[in-house]
Chain A
């Protein structure tokens, strides 16, 4: 149980294009999902917290107009990297917390590797 998927697993795009990454909780409902970014050989940095039916909460220094987050249902959150540039190349990982459990464990997706040429 508690499986989180991400799609796509890998994407290569040209500079200036937008890329959408999906995060799905497959066997549970998640009122809260989290988006992280991980640079090579570095730790995970929280970008934003996504709450179903409301606006996402962004961490300091993360541009909300560049990283658009939509959490339209209890099983799906999307991250759109708008007008991507090479410096946006990174490993993006989402996690989901079981609905109704504020202190619950976060379950992580397998990640999406974005390469911007």
Chain B
């Protein structure tokens, strides 16, 4: 069965400093992996996705993530945090069994950005 673990429930950074949100996955075969962001009382917005192409994936708003099969990791990074990045971030793995992509969500990481 597929699963995903977000290693930090809360991350706090200062504006202008790097962001690292950690995610490890478990999959019996080559997974599809996603990062979504959710601002308070809003729906989810796709930041980026990995689907067995390039292992370094660039997303929107300066975010990127690197797929490391040997470490079963898909950490999300950004070189310089902005106040508007404060939100909840979800690492997601796609369970492609049965012919459709059922998404399995991590518990989420709340990112706080301080001035």
Contact = CB atoms under 8 A, between A and B. Distances in A.
Q: Do A and B come from one complex?
A: yes
A103 B101 contact: yes
Contacts of B77: none
Interface in A6-63: 6, 32, 34, 42-46, 49
A73 interface: no
A44 B100 contact: no
A105 B99 contact: no
A38 B103 CA distance: 14
Q: Most chain-A CB neighbours within 10 Å: which of B34, B44, B46, B106?
A: B44
B90 A43 contact: yes
Contacts of A34: 102-103
Interface in B42-86: 42-46, 49, 51
Contacts of B24: none
Main secondary structure of the interface of A (DSSP, over half): strand
Chain B, interface size category, equals: 20 to 34
B41 A43 contact: no
Contacts of B100: 32, 49, 97, 102
B32 A106 contact: no
Given A103-B96, A108-B36, A113 B41 contact: yes
Nearest to B90: A43
Chain A, interface size category, equals: 20 to 34
A82 B36 CA distance: 30
Interface in B85-115: 90, 94, 96, 99-103, 105-108
Interface in A60-114: 91, 93, 95, 97, 102-111, 113
Given A103-B32, A103-B51, A110 B102 contact: no
Interface of B: 32, 34, 36, 41-46, 49, 51, 90, 94, 96, 99-103, 105-108
- Which 3 pairs from chain A and chain B are nearest by CB? A110-B43, A108-B44, A108-B43
